A and B are shown apart, each in its own frame.
Chain A
Amino acid sequence: GAVVSQHPSRVICKSGTSVKIECRSLDFQATTMFWYRQFPKQSLMLMATSNEGSKATYEQGVEKDKFLINHASLTLSTLTVTSAHPEDSSFYICSVMIGYGYTFGSGTRLTVV
């Protein structure tokens, strides 16, 4: 089946630095990828929809200048958390729609200290 590879699985960074998370579709082309954020003991909240070759669509309340999304190819979308702060510590997970189903990456646990 379709595989989505997400890296890194865990990252610890200092407050004020930036972190890049990659989401790759390994055996198919993905024109659209979705980025979710999950705080501890909460649900997955859609942050943005990443479209290959165009600007991402952000959900209300998500700062596009803080969470930079780049979808430069049909197999790679990146999420960069800029000037990270402790409140950005969360589980970030990407998803790709394949047919009528969805494949998820394994997630990235970000801790900002």
Chain B
Amino acid sequence: AQKVTQAQTEISVVEKEDVTLDCVYETRDTTYYLFWYKQPPSGELVFLIRRNSFDEQNEISGRYSWNFQKSTSSFNFTITASQVVDSAVYFCALSEAKGNNDMRFGAGTRLTVKP
């Protein structure tokens, strides 16, 4: 079964700092999908990005960027010029093309951005 590791439990930064959230995954499937979600205090999951295993291009969306490296099985997420509104728990997740297509989440990283 797939596994996702987010080693950083909590990160605290001051506004305008850049911050990178790490995600390392394990899978035996050659076709898989990686995700990042944001979970604010309200609890709902906010979709940020989906990447399939055949697309290693890095992506930038505004202040957000993602670095996907199959060689190290990592899918890291960087927030540039962080803002207080970025404070939330961020989850990295993986689903495999084979089997149930169920999604497995990492433990999450709680990001606090202080003014």
Q: Which residues of A contact B (CB under 8 A)?
A: 32, 34, 36, 41-46, 49, 57, 91, 93, 95, 97, 100-102, 104, 106-107, 109
Of all chain B residues, which has the CB nearest A6? B44
Q: How far is the CB of A59 from chain B (nearest CB, A)?
A: 9
User: Which residues of A have CB within 8 Å of B43?
Assistant: 91, 93, 106-107, 109
Given contacts A93-B45, A101-B47, A106-B43, contact A57 B100 (CB under 8 A): yes
CB-based contact B101/A32 at 8 Å: yes
Taken residue by residue from 38 to 72, chain B's Cβ proximity to chain A (1 for < 8 Å, 0 otherwise) reads as 00000111010010100000000000000000000
| Interface contact A101-B50, CB-CB below 8 Å | yes
Contact at B101–A97, with CB atoms within 8 Å?
A: yes
Contact A100 B33 (CB under 8 A): yes
Instruction: Give me 17 other A-B pairs in contact (C-beta within 8 A), A45-B105, A101-B50, A104-B44 excluded.
Output: A32-B100, A34-B102, A36-B105, A42-B108, A43-B91, A43-B108, A44-B45, A44-B105, A46-B103, A49-B102, A91-B43, A95-B103, A102-B47, A106-B43, A107-B43, A107-B44, A107-B45
The reply on B19 being an interface residue by CB < 8 A is no
Secondary structure at chain A's binding surface: helix, strand, loop or mixed?
strand
With a CB–CB cut-off of 8 A, which chain A residues contact B102? 34, 46, 49
Distance in angstroms between the alpha carbons of A77 and B95 in the assembled complex? 21
B13: interface (CB < 8 Å): no
Inter-chain contact A42/B107, CB cutoff 8 Å = yes
Residues of chain B in range 96-115 having any CB-CB distance to chain A below 8 Å: 100-108, 110
Pick the residue among B44, B104, B107 that contacts A46 (CB under 8 A). B104
Q: Which residues of A contact B101 (CB under 8 A)?
A: 32, 97
Q: How far, in whole Å, are A7 and B92 apart by their CA atoms in the complex?
A: 26
Assess whether A102 is in contact with B91, with CB atoms less than 8 Å apart.
no
